[in-house]
């Protein structure tokens, strides 16, 4: 571990280092976006250069693609790669069932598509992302530019009967202009405080015309690797240990789309 890292970066480095150990020769790997995922890409590139590890990377954003190429990782599109063995990505929050809020960096649409097309999703995080209930971090919702005001009003109305603590909706900005995603869309940030039923909220939001995708990742994450400032890392699996609700006999999340890769 580099000696001059901040405590937060030490934890991110530790989680990323442990996650990269799951990658094997010949794998097709989804490469996440964000500050923690950037450490993962850097460490994966080191394995490629020093160990001769042969992998194919599918980035979840243009900035991840740029970094991966600079690290010497072979980069292809998801359509070129087909089904993936593994995706490693960061998160903004995760709860005891490994439901996630993602999209703080504005890449959750591509991140969710890549995660859904993978046998496993490993999330890397520091302890600050571990929460008893989702919602303190604003929930990103990607929307198309056309009819933006109408879509925002519909989202606000949709939230009224739902089990959330707050209902403030703001348009994400980049300076004086709306933030633009890699797909040319905008993002509404939902300041909810607490999300009582993440699955229901995700389903309802995606029914709103103009909404492309929300930042709730449900039944996609297989495990979370939590890094600590002392350089150690722990692996967290869902607390519910049943074969129901998309979990296998070991309690790990089973990607509900996994059979499509067969």
Which residues have C-beta within 8 Å of that of residue 25, sequence separation ≥ 6?
A: 53, 54, 55
SS3 at position 171? strand
CB 12 within 8 A of CB 35: yes
Which residues are catalytically annotated? 111
3-class DSSP state for residue 222? Answer: coil
Q: How many CA atoms lie within 13 A of 127 on its CB side?
A: 11
Going 178 to 182 to 188 to 193, the CA torsion angle's sign is negative
Annotated binding site for substrate: 33-36, 89-92, 102-105, 129
Query: What does the alpha-carbon distance between residue 28 and residue 46 come to, in Å, rounded to a whole number?
Result: 17
Phi and psi torsions of 14, nearest 5°: -60, -45
As beta bridge partners, residue 187 has 142
């Amino acid at each position: 571990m580099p000696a001059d890292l901040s405590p937060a970066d030490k934890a991110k480095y530790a989680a990323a280092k442990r996650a990269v150990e799951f990658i094997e020769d010949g794998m097709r790997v989804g490469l996440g976006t964000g500050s923690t995922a950037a450490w993962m890409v850097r460490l994966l590139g080191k394995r490629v250069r020093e160990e001769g590890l042969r992998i194919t990377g599918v980035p979840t954003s243009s900035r991840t693609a740029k970094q991966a190429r600079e690290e010497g990782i072979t980069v292809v599109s998801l359509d070129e790669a087909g089904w993936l063995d593994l995706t490693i990505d960061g998160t903004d929050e995760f709860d005891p069932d490994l439901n996630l809020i993602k999209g703080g960096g504005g890449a959750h649409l591509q991140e969710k598509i890549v995660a859904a097309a993978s046998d496993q999703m490993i999330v890397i995080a520091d302890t600050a992302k571990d929460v008893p209930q989702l919602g303190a971090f604003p929930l990103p919702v990607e929307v198309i530019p056309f009819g933006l005001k109408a879509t925002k009003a519909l989202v606000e109305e949709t939230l009224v009967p739902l089990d959330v603590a707050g209902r403030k909706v703001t348009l994400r900005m980049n300076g004086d202009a709306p933030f633009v995603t890699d797909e040319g869309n905008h993002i509404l940030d939902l300041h909810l405080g607490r999300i009582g039923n993440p699955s229901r909220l995700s389903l309802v939001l995606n029914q709103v015309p103009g909404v492309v995708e929300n930042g709730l990742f449900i039944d996609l994450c297989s495990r979370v690797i939590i890094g600590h400032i002392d350089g150690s890392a722990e692996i967290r699996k869902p607390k519910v240990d049943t074969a129901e609700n998309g979990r296998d006999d070991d309690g790990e999340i089973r990607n509900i789309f996994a059979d499509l890769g067969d």
